[in-house]
Amino acid sequence: MLKIVKKHLKEVKSFYSENDLKIEEFRIKYNGKKGVLNKLFKSFRDVPEKEKKEFGKVLNELKKEINNKILNLQNKLIKKVSSVNNDLSKPGFPYKLGSFHPLSIVENKILDIFSKIGFIISEGPEIEDDWHNFTALNLPEFHPARDMQDTFFVQTNPDILLRTHTSSVQVRYMEENNPPLRIVSPGRVYRNEAISARAHCLFHQVEGLYIDRKVSFADLKQTLIYFAESLFGKSKIRLRPSYFPFTEPSAEVDIYWGLDNEIDHKITKGTGWLEIMGCGMVDPNVLKNCNIDPDEFSGYAFGMGIERIAMLLYQIDDIRVFYENDIRFLDQFKSI
Ligand code: DAH
């Protein structure tokens, strides 16, 4: 019995570590509830009478040695850690700085441009109901224009779907607020499309809406010129008549990009013009659906794809790079 205690004593004396885990391991082994020390104290009564005195002496020595050892090593560790962490004059760790995703950069630019002229940001849910995504926007059930937006439905309930455009937010905002209204609504949208260089089943849009008394098409056009100039530095735009169920009249907006070099020719398909968004005067039916009197109020709306704009701004020819999160691609947007 005595031999065992002496063996532990030797082991304890020679133990040394600066590793916090090893020190804790040592503490548990010797000082833990089921540790060596407790076991030895328990075995004291089995020690033959004549050895008891010597056994007790060495055991107490072992106990002292263990406690001192743990205290010393722990103190050493604390000193070491605090000397590393508390020196405020030391240079910081060279953490690599991250950067915004190009889609966030473009979204922020768009929102900034509109917030300068009084638009506020309003967001809505990505899981929508039929009313806000379609019906209230003058797209009743069986309307053929629903086909333009291949929809993902949630489970088997045809009333619940992943929104196909952020136009749904204008409905929500008009239902909750009285004119004058001026909002931009950024967010994710979903369409059941095959993924390719030009299309993705998930992408991002910014929707804009302005409702007040006597809002005219001229107001819309002036806002679009301001936007094109602010974002692209190009103010030549044209409005091509188009069709959207929620606006009447509707138009597609092209900006004149130029034909200065080979890339210009490529991205504008030799025309010099690029389509950037859809727009129009809010259809009176939509106003009525949102409890706004079309005889008193009018307004315009527009909607654009953030990916499309980012691809134009940064000359990217494959939409998929936005979702791959390849660090070599993202790193290029550090200084923007
Ligand atoms: N919601 C349309 C789309 O996803 C975009 C759009 C077009 C929005 C014209 C509008 C608008 O507000 O007036 O394709």
- SS3 letters across 72-141: HHHHHHHHHHHHHHCCCCCCCCCCCCCCCCHHHHHHHHHHHHHHCCCCEECCCCCEEEHHHHCHHHCCCC
Output the residue whose Cα is nearest ligand 1's atom 4: 165
Residue 217 is inside which H or E element, if any? helix 217-232
Output the residue whose Cα is nearest ligand 1's atom 8: 303
Mean pLDDT of 262-286: 92
Write the pLDDT tens digit of every residue in 152-176: 988 778 899 999 999 999 999 999 9
Same domain, 80 and 183: no
Question: Do 114 and 184 meet the contact criterion of CB atoms below 8 Å apart?
Answer: yes
How far, in Å, is the centroid of ligand 1 from the Cα of 206?
Answer: 9
Of 51, 86, 121, the domain-final residue: 86
Higher pLDDT among residues 143 and 248, named by residue? 248
Atom number in ligand 1 closest to CA 148: 14
Q: What pLDDT sits at residue 63?
A: 94
Higher pLDDT among residues 252 and 154, named by residue? 252
Model confidence at 84: pLDDT above 70: no
Same domain, 14 and 68: yes
Q: Which of 98, 6, 104 is nearest to 54 (CA)?
A: 6
Of 60, 86, 112, the domain-final residue: 86
Same domain, 208 and 117: yes
d(CA 167, CA 52): 89
Which structure tokens are listed for 111? 């929102």
Q: Which of 124, 170, 148, 151 is nearest to 286 (CA)?
A: 170
What percent of the chain has pLDDT above 90?
A: 71
Residue 19 located in a structural domain: yes
Mean pLDDT of 194-220: 95
Same domain, 124 and 213: yes
Same domain, 14 and 45: yes
Q: What pLDDT sits at residue 85?
A: 65
Q: What pLDDT sits at residue 140?
A: 84
d(CA 279, CA 302): 4
Q: What pLDDT sits at residue 198?
A: 84
Same domain, 120 and 199: yes
Same domain, 114 and 219: yes
Residue 159 located in a structural domain: yes
Average model confidence (pLDDT) for the chain?
92
Residue 310 located in a structural domain: yes
Same domain, 110 and 79: no
13-21: long-range contacts (C-beta < 8 A, 24 or more apart)?
13/65, 13/69, 15/69, 16/73, 17/73, 18/73, 18/76, 18/77, 18/80, 20/77
Write the pLDDT tens digit of every residue in 8-66: 999 999 999 989 899 999 999 999 999 999 999 999 888 888 888 999 999 999 999 99
Instruction: Indicate if the alpha-carbon torsion angle 92, 94, 95, 96 is positive or negative.
Output: positive
Of 29, 51, 86, the domain-final residue: 86
Task: Give the chain's radius of gyration (CA, Å).
Answer: 36
Q: What pLDDT sits at residue 91?
A: 74
d(CA 196, CA 323): 12
Q: Which of 20, 59, 58 is nearest to 36 (CA)?
A: 59
Same domain, 155 and 189: yes
Same domain, 74 and 147: no
Q: What pLDDT sits at residue 210?
A: 98
Ligand 1 pocket by Cβ (under 6 Å): 165, 167, 207, 244, 247, 278-280, 301-303
**Phi and psi dihedrals of 99, rounded to 5?**
-150, 165
Residue 124 located in a structural domain: yes
Residue 257 located in a structural domain: no
218: confidence class by pLDDT, cuts 50, 70, 90: very high
Question: Do 77 and 173 meet the contact criterion of CB atoms below 8 Å apart?
Answer: no
Same domain, 216 and 157: yes
Residue 237 located in a structural domain: no
Higher pLDDT among residues 91 and 164, named by residue? 164
How far, in Å, is the centroid of ligand 1 from the Cα of 55?
Answer: 90
Domains of the chain: total: 2
The range of the structural domain enclosing residue 213 comes to 102-226+283-333
Q: What pLDDT sits at residue 336?
A: 61
d(CA 135, CA 233): 37
Residue 232 located in a structural domain: no
Mean pLDDT of 275-287: 97
Residue 242 located in a structural domain: no
How far, in Å, is the centroid of ligand 1 from the Cα of 67?
Answer: 75
Same domain, 216 and 328: yes
Give the CATH number of the domain where residue 326 resides.
Answer: 3.30.930.10
Output the residue whose Cα is nearest ligand 1's atom 3: 165
How far, in Å, is the centroid of ligand 1 from the Cα of 283?
Answer: 12
Lowest mean pLDDT among 15-19, 182-186, 299-303: 15-19
How far, in Å, is the centroid of ligand 1 from the Cα of 272?
Answer: 23
pTM strictly above 0.85: no
**Amino acid identity, residue 299?**
G
Which of 221, 239, 244, 304, when mutated, tests ligand 1's pocket best, judged by the most ligand atoms within 8 Å of its CB?
244
